[in-house]
Amino acid sequence: MARMRAVDAAVLVLEKEGISCAFGVPGAAINPFYSALKARGTIRHILARHVEAASHMAEGYTRAGSGNIGLCIGTSGPAGTDMITGLYSAAADSIPILCITGQAPRARLNKEDFQAVDIAAIAAPVAKWAVTVMEPYLVPMTLQKAFHLMRSSRPGPVLVDLPVDVQLAEIEFDIDAYEPLVPFKPAMSRSQAEKALAMLNAAERPLIVAGGGIINADASDLLIEFAEVTDVPVIPTLMGWGAIPDDHRLMAGMCGLQTSHRYGNATMLEADFVFGIGNRWANRHTGSVDVYTRGKKFIHVDIEPTQIGRVFAPDLGVVSDAGAALKMLLDVATEWKTAEKLRDWSGWVRECQGRKKTMKRKTHFDQVPLKPQRVYEEMNKAFGRDTTYVTTIGLSQIAGAQFLHVYKPRNWINCGQAGPLGWTLPAALGVRAADPQRNIVALSGDYDFQFMIEELAVGAQHKLPYIHVVVNNAYLGLIRQAQRGFSMDFEVSLAFENVNRKDDPEAGYGVDHVAVAEAMGCKAVRVRRPEEFAGAFEQAQRLMKEHQVPVVLEFILERVTNISMGTEIDKITEFEELAEHHKDAPTAIVMLD
């Protein structure tokens, strides 16, 4: 037992819980905590330019799958409110991050002190737990509970708020007696697995819907093995993309209103049974429940009991960690296959494979300014199978999901439910901090890129290199496309005549992203024509390796390109031509434009 400040005990607990990196912005009310970080010198700190960005860096760090939880730190008042978007984004996608904020002294709470706000109450709706610690000895014990909660059942974020006098108070604490608590994770029983497989065996055209819970559980190998043993095709959700490689014979495509494949939607419409594992039936995946569920039976496996039946009632619901469920299902399925008790779905698999081969969208366009589809075609050529893509929302993300290829878990890092603009850049920095060796390519539209463009300086300062593809059409492209339903194009253009770009052919596009990136200490390359693609990708990778800073790779797009999407999975509008040799393929897609 030793006497120490509460913040010194806190840092010892963080070390014991596996924290090795933090993202944040110091300030008066959190400086005691920073003094403890400095004194120990064991936790790397990356100084963000905005506290919201620090929270997204922490998200990227956790989502990269290093095994550690992302930590973001800020002072009192606005630092905590800046973190709310990161907490929301993490909670929505079941991502554990720890937010630590400073707070006014206890005696000054509720007295309108400078930068004093009830951040625990503000954060509560978007956190798994949010607490202001009022007793010094509770600082290390609160952190112990925080880590247990973040890792148990459905993962999620926690905010711990520390009044400055609580931080500075001395306590008796023995770190040698401290042990992290074992997380709670429910597991599927054998009888539940047998019931589920009996229902699966009764189906003629079954699918597995693989959600982000499989990736959170690091259970992608079990998913692939289970799919191969049963010979059942897999539809990954956007958060589950990468759980099965895109070119696996049982990968049947993604389903949904936006981030989907034509063959994925068509296959879902043909299915009569869906086995959902670690997914949440998000509306961008399902569209309306009536269309999605028509003619099908459902099993839903999820780690959180209240997720089952939240969107619609399945025919069977099982509360289980995705990894534990897949292990039990695989054990039983292997026994049944050996005993020849599993049904033969090889004909159904061939149907799914046929749709995957024939129902393509066209990507090869030679126009100038560039069409975005061609950019993704060239990205597939330039970047290898091990590339990690990081992106948030917008036409760039939607088209990226339609045209890019993902082959490994955690190689598609996307805030699926919240989708805050500006997320991509700091999240990519967090991924890089978690894994110095990974091939990282971020993907942004120009507006997402501009939201937190100042964080480029963080990448330059802390040597966090990655390639950031910016598809620039000087528009809020997704909102412009949505405004077609109101017959308007209103306040969504980012274009203006930039007086500092008089001799630049893109002066009318407004912001000079290349100049901004270079001013931030990064490198940048602009691409205008198809023949420049190969050289630009090569140059970007060379610059990144040589200078160890982020490299912006900007593609100048035509101002207006509508990307395929719709209001139902059987009513997707295809705005562009389909691939020439696939035009006559059977399709469940309604051609509205």
> What is the third-level CATH fold of 372-556?
Rossmann fold (3.40.50)
472 pLDDT higher than 80: yes
For 327-393, give the DSSP string.
HHHHHHHHHHHHTT-S---HHHHHHHHHHHHH--B------SSBPHHHHHHHHHHHS-TTPEEEE-S
376 pLDDT higher than 50: yes
107 pLDDT higher than 90: no
- Domain 2-177 identical in fold to domain 190-358: yes
| Sequence letter at residue 495 | A
CA angle 59, 260, 293 (to 5 degrees): 105
476 pLDDT higher than 60: yes
Q: Which residues contact 237 (CB under 8 A, 6 or more apart)?
A: 209, 210, 211, 212, 254, 279, 282, 285, 416
Model pLDDT, residue 134: 97
Are 326 and 228 in contact by the 8 Å Cβ rule? The answer is no
What pLDDT, in 10s, does the model give residues 232-254?
Answer: 999 999 999 999 999 999 999 99
DSSP classification of residue 478? H
Q: Which residues contact 335 (CB under 8 A, 6 or more apart)?
A: none
Q: Report d(CA 61, CA 56) in Å as an integer.
A: 8
580 pLDDT higher than 90: no
Model pLDDT, residue 586: 34
CB atoms within 10 A of CB 42: 12
590 pLDDT higher than 60: no
Task: List 74's β-bridge partners, or say none.
Answer: 101
Are 81 and 130 in contact by the 8 Å Cβ rule? The answer is no
Residue 500's SS3 state is helix
Domain ranges of the chain: 2-177, 190-358, 372-556
Per-residue pLDDT averaged across 549-571, rounded?
94
Closest by Cα among 157, 158, 76 to 118: 76
DSSP classification of residue 564? P
Are 81 and 161 in contact by the 8 Å Cβ rule? The answer is no
User: Residue 502 — very low, low, confident or very high, per pLDDT cuts 50/70/90?
Assistant: confident
The catalytic site residues sit at: 25, 51, 421, 476, 479
98 pLDDT higher than 60: yes
Percentage of the residues of the chain whose pLDDT score is greater than 70 = 97
Superfamily per CATH, domain 190-358? TPP-binding domain (3.40.50.1220)
Out of 65-69, 118-122, 271-275, 432-436, pick the least confident. 65-69
Q: In degrees rounded to 5, what are phi and psi of residue 237?
A: -75, 175
Per-residue pLDDT averaged across 371-396, rounded?
95
The predicted model scores a pTM of: 0.93
| Sequence letter at residue 337 | K
Closest by Cα among 287, 295, 297, 242 to 265: 287
Tokens representing residue 551 in the block? 């490299």
CATH number for 2-177 (one of 3.40.50.300, 3.40.50.970, 1.10.287.70, 2.30.30.60): it is 3.40.50.970
585 pLDDT higher than 60: no
How far is C-alpha 467 from the geometric centre of its chain's CA atoms? 17
CB atoms within 10 A of CB 144: 18
For 255-276, give the DSSP string.
-SSSS--HHHHHHHHH-SEEEE
Q: How far is CA 64 from CA 67, 156, 437, in A?
A: 8, 15, 12
343 pLDDT higher than 80: yes
Q: Which residues contact 38 (CB under 8 A, 6 or more apart)?
A: none
**503 vs 277, residue with greater confidence:** 277
Task: List 251's β-bridge partners, or say none.
Answer: 234
CB atoms within 10 A of CB 392: 27
